[in-house]
Structure 1
């Protein structure tokens, strides 16, 4: 693959010339090339011109192939505004433009002509013309050969969706480790943040490289290692070999808690793990995407817990990632970890979810427990070496593991990898541990786990066991313990039901418990219990108000508070109880804030929760005006926006006030926060404006649409919001006319009428999901959000 890109043609279009050299094992046969261009100027196949009109629906037929072939295409392409393809964004802080390539999942044909499927890997030689003041980065080392002209060194074989080019007036910091040149890059307006956070990110990068080299016994193969923080990025990050891209909100411009730095560190480790799982060895087709994501997730948390300062990273995994995965398991779209049918790329996109990430990582932890870490690591190394620069699939991975382990893994794979569903574990006072398997997805899963008991904060017993039957008697259970905790070490993939005595004791006992992993399991049991209608939301609120002010882990503090403020209170409580519940959340946050050490992580989390939940107009007015601000938040623009958005929801921020705060924060983050605040205003005119922007303004970027959708449903009376449930099913599918699938699916999730917890909403959405004009991705987003709304309806039916 020889690709030449001309990025110096203005803000709308760029030039793309591609020369592909390929062989054909059956001369005389035909194939097709993928190409989605604004216009095609010339095409030649083996020196013979081809009519550009031959390109139909993104495909260029190639007929009468020889044993060796060369196809050349010269075309004009369009920059995107939805985070896919070659995305171009203007930084409002200084008016500078930035470009980055995000070709996942099937956007490569919008940048260059190609054979767009993951098992057709090729080396890439890329050249780029750009404005003279720009910097160019990509998969190969970039060399400026003339003013505005850059060549990238030829790469090792890559799948199309890993190719990237980043260009613009990026600023950089550099380092080196173990012979690997390291670079971190960001927009010019983020130079201060880049330089402040660079040393910590370099440290985690180096620690992760050392950990993976020890674990895999295969050196990083892709030369330089650049990490580029880019604007308006759809995902958290993307594992482009040698040039990883991240959403630039991770360059925190205000106060950052340890948990936030840990999450960024974990993302750095996650994308680096992909250099081996995904990049060096790529799945043959999308139905084995777990060979990418499950491994990167598992390896990242293992790396951060063992090789960095974040030895407690599995706590965050339990309360954040596993809760995401359990929700995906409860949805009708649940699927196996491996081998989920993916007839096309868009079907595959829907399965990049909490199952492929969190469940897959948890299943790999179970595999390590099943065969031992030494055999697991030996199998991983054998798989990587036998498939390097090529592709693999489930059967080939299992073969290397079976050879290392010495016995068949067929039954284990069938239960854990090839069957959907999550078991429920419960421990009673007689010491009986039960495993309940979902009826829709029966499987005989063997769980390696531990159970523990606690009294007055102290552990009174802990027993490790393997549960491979529907129930078993656990030795050593002390029935008088205040808390009985199945899966106390959070070692297996299972939802937990607490016995009645333990649930009743939580308000008293949870604040006394020192074991952060066990607290994560208990908080998770409360949340999933509410979602499954086995725990009364009022009881959960009692646990929160009693225990949350004493929570010492900032990951648990922030994630649990988010679950209560964003879902449990507004969805699961009856409308008449929401205001009182939010007041209790605010009071818990105020209590915590007042006793926390100023500037500590607890104080920062509590201040943010308080700012998001309080109705204290005097406090909000003081904070938004810059008076009496919490320590470390005196000049924090992001905190100021939290305050202003709360004021907007309460009807306390008019256009003049929003514009004034916006004038003090002329960054991309400020612009987005301003949109969210405007959409959060409760008036009927304001809601009508926000919805028209979401549903009809084709100039809005992916991030702007997300901000508007997030703000829209955060306020307003049910009477004013109810008509927008019908507008949602009518308007959102039409966005597919101009919005890419990755961005659209996110908008369909955020714009879902989650506040309208009524059977009429269920009927509207179910009818929409049957329509032929609804894309598979939007149908999946609708279905997943609908399942959450139905959980709320079931809970209200039982407990209200």
Structure 2
């Protein structure tokens, strides 16, 4: 299928205006197909001209344009020509569509807990034509009137309030103008809880088998929802415009969530089945706040084209962390941002695919998928923090409000946003935008023992970025100095007296990778755990991690810092993210083969030390128990935990923890079929089914690997989540000699999945199935060669390239520190 180009979109938007969309869906036709009838009223600025409609059906039963039959045979590669247009037009398309299994379009999933079916629409980025006929581009917004026929036992939700008729047909109230990719319908035997706030009806919905989890978590989610509404109403001074506010937790969702106006969809793993740490609740709360911010940035005002994606995602990211830190109990949410989101963004900046925050080329819609990364999210949010520091919070909020009001229910772009902000600021932002928004790359900031703070821009992307930040000094963990700095040149002098640990960007206010001096690095094993400020510790941990990835820190030194200080870390977000980085990347990739066993054992020792010292039932104990379950080689302890004996406090009956332990046993080749079957019989949920697949794929035996790879690459019945589980388990174990052949099979087999798998799902599989544990030059050569092949899609090429960049970082580090 051809992807819509920017030029085609511009030409079509100049020619037509969509006035109203009427969509009728029949979801009562069985498990494979559904009926779709679309009536589009649109005007044409130049009568007699032609355009095309986007629709990708199984079959077309009838097409009419202005009362005249159109031959369905003219439909080619998803495009239906519309010729001899009038000033006012009506096109009607009656079609049969297919449910998806890859999380795109109208996805249908069967819950193995009770065999109930659930449907949800995820029309991002260009999947709308698989559900209804449309002019599928973000700047042709229109009101939607939707009806849905569904089985008798189903509930229907969507962008407008749903009202049930007498014949199992639901009418959704007509919406305000929406972009095509924001339209959704959720249908199935969903269960619900309701509330109201500030005149806005609220609903939270989930699968019937998740009703206990829904009811347990709903009060906290409603609280964050209400706090976020109040914060955004105060900040934007523009009321939420989309009527009811439903939040639907759906199965097998590719993204974290999607900001459909009035009907936000979330991956339902966020309804935690067992124990949840404060960080996990923060992540969900931040996602709730993030998607709500989109009601203004993305939904009320939509980017004109995908190259201004940052106007959606950077703002939602920044606004969400601002909201959670200012208006909820999570006043420390920027700690999690620094160690999780910024690390994701820094990795994207180091990759060859790095791009500017704004204006990154998106010549067609599909290519825009490559920009949904840590740059558009984390870097964009960090840049906005710098803009607030540059122009002041009051002027920033005034500019945002002016932009929203002048473009509401329409579209915007970078130049229009900057104009509003310059009006509020009273000065030009051209230089600021050129340096921060329109130039790729991340600066490196370092502070030497003489007090010289330096800024180094990357050679490939030179820019004169002014950094507003602070530096701090610590001795024996106590803060002895802190100084605010405006770094607008190559260097500036700061006075930190005789501080032992010297930390640039101590409050994590700017976007920059931090190099720690040798004396500071040497002091960390004794001093890091004693620093009280969790933001400062987040910056230190981030500097250690990025130092390993950039080959400026010896992995052995980083491991010494970890084993000495991680068992004493008190912030659960830092504990979780740093442990994950060492266990999933630094030890498997950066530590040489002959030393890896000892390094992995040291992780287990650190996990045990933290577990034994933590208060039972605390967040710290929970994180430590999970890390111990992932790293321990104590088969007696692991077996006891699987059999529900001697479980840590708070983890009794926790199925997810049990699967975590079983997957560790599987990696140790101690999980035979009968054990996996027995645990599966106790957990017949979708989560249990996926965990069992991951466990089987995690076993190191050659036959197990062959089975798992065949399921990933040849079984077309596997859903997106099943493929993810298999791919994640596959590379978690196995001798390098046994796994090496799969590097070659990766480059030959994974691109072929495009024959039946959607781009969103395929790109994720291409990432998870990457041969990251075969850290060899030959692997890098295989992938480089594959990336040049014409049969490799742009999304898979991006996934390959990003993972190759990480592999090359490990190869460089091994050579540097050999």
1-structure distance, mates of 2:600, 2:328: 37
Aligned twin of 2:12: none
Residue from 245, 249, 267 that aligns with 1:247: 267
State the 1:147 CA deviation: 3.5
**How far is 1:579 from its partner?**
1.4
- SS of equivalent to 2:601: helix
* 779, 789, 799: which one aligns with 2:807: 789
SS in 1 for 2:604: helix
Offset, 1:477? 1.9
**Partner Cα separation in structure 2 for residue 722 and residue 435 of structure 1:** 41
- Matched residue, 1:289: 309
Aligned to 1:477: 496
Residue of structure 2 aligned with 1:743, choices 746, 761, 766 = 761
CA distance in 2: counterparts of 1:283 and 1:103, whole angstroms: 16
Deviations 1:645-693 (A, max 9, x none): 0000000001111111000000000000000000001011110000000
Once residues 515 and 685 of structure 1 are traced to their aligned partners in structure 2, the CA distance between those partners, rounded to angstroms, is: 50
Match of 1:771 among 768, 785, 789: 789
* Aligned partner (choices 83, 95, 109) of residue 129 of structure 2: 109
Q: 1:7 aligns with which of 27, 37, 42?
A: 27
Equivalent residue, structure 1, for 2:231: 211
Match of 2:376 among 344, 356, 361: 356
Q: Which of 248, 260, 275 pairs up with 2:295?
A: 275
User: Counterparts of 2:599 and 2:684 in 1: how far apart (Å)?
Assistant: 35
1:658 aligned onto 2:684: no
Counterparts of 1:30-69 in structure 2, within 5 Å, are 30-69=50-89
Quick one: which of 81, 89, 103 aligns to 2:109?
89
Q: CA deviation at 1:457?
A: 1.3
Q: SS of the counterpart of 2:285?
A: helix
CA distance in 2, matches of 1:16, 1:616: 56
1:719 counterpart residue number: 737
Match of 1:418 in 2: 438
Aligned residue number for residue 431 of structure 1: 451
Structure 2 spans left out of the alignment, 5+ residues? 1-20
1:79 maps to what in 2?
99
1:548 aligns with 2:569: no
Q: How many residues align?
A: 798
Give the C-alpha shift of residue 259 in structure 1: 0.4
Secondary structure at 1:65 match in 2? coil
* Matched residue SS, 1:629: coil
CA distance in 1, matches of 2:597, 2:658: 23
1:46-69 CA distances to partner (integer Å, 9 max, x unpaired)?
000000111100000000000000
SS in 1 for 2:331: coil
TM-score, normalization by structure 1: 1.00
Q: After TM superposition, where is structure 1 displaced by more than 6 Å over at least 4 residues in a row? A: none
Kindly provide the CA deviation profile for residues 578-617 of structure 1, in whole angstroms up to 9, marking residues without a partner as x: 1111111111111111111110000000000000000101
Q: Is 1:173–2:173 an aligned residue pair?
A: no
For residue 754 of structure 1, the aligned residue among 769, 772, 777 is 772
**Counterpart in the other structure of 1:691:** 709
Structure 2 Cα separation of the partners of residues 575 and 665 of structure 1: 37
How far does the alpha carbon of each residue in 1:246-295 deviate from its partner, in whole angstroms, 9 at most, with x for none?
00000000000000000000000000000000000000000000000000
Measure the CA separation in 2 of the matches of 1:340 and 1:799. 36
Note if 1:640 corresponds to 2:653.
no
Pairing of 1:310-325 with structure 2 (within 5 A): 310-325=330-345
SS at match of 1:146: coil
Distance in 1 (alpha carbons) for counterparts of 2:568 and 2:449: 27
Measured in 1, the distance between the counterparts of 2:669 and 2:168 equals 50
**Does 1:538 pair with 2:556?**
yes
Q: What root-mean-square deviation, in Å, do the aligned CA atoms of Structure 1 and Structure 2 show?
A: 0.4
Give 1:670's match in structure 2, choosing from 678, 684, 688. 688
For 2:664 and 2:539, how far apart are their aligned partners in 1?
31
- Please give the per-residue CA displacement for 1:353-405, whole angstroms capped at 9, x wherever unaligned: 00000000000000000000000000000000000000000000000000000
Unaligned runs of 5+ in 1: none
Residue among 533, 539, 548 paired with 1:521:
539
2-structure distance, mates of 1:138, 1:207: 23
- State the Cα deviation string for residues 716-752 of structure 1 (Å, max 9, x = none): 0001100000000000000000000000000000000
1:472 Cα offset (Å): 1.1
CA drift of 1:411 comes to 0.3
TM-score of the superposed pair, with normalisation by structure 2: 0.97
Deviations 1:135-168 (A, max 9, x none): 0000000000124110000000000000000000
Output the CA distance in 2 between the equivalents of 1:348 and 1:460. Answer: 47
Q: CA deviation at 1:207?
A: 0.1
Task: Please show how residues 489-528 of structure 1 align to structure 2 within 5 Å.
Answer: 489-528=507-546
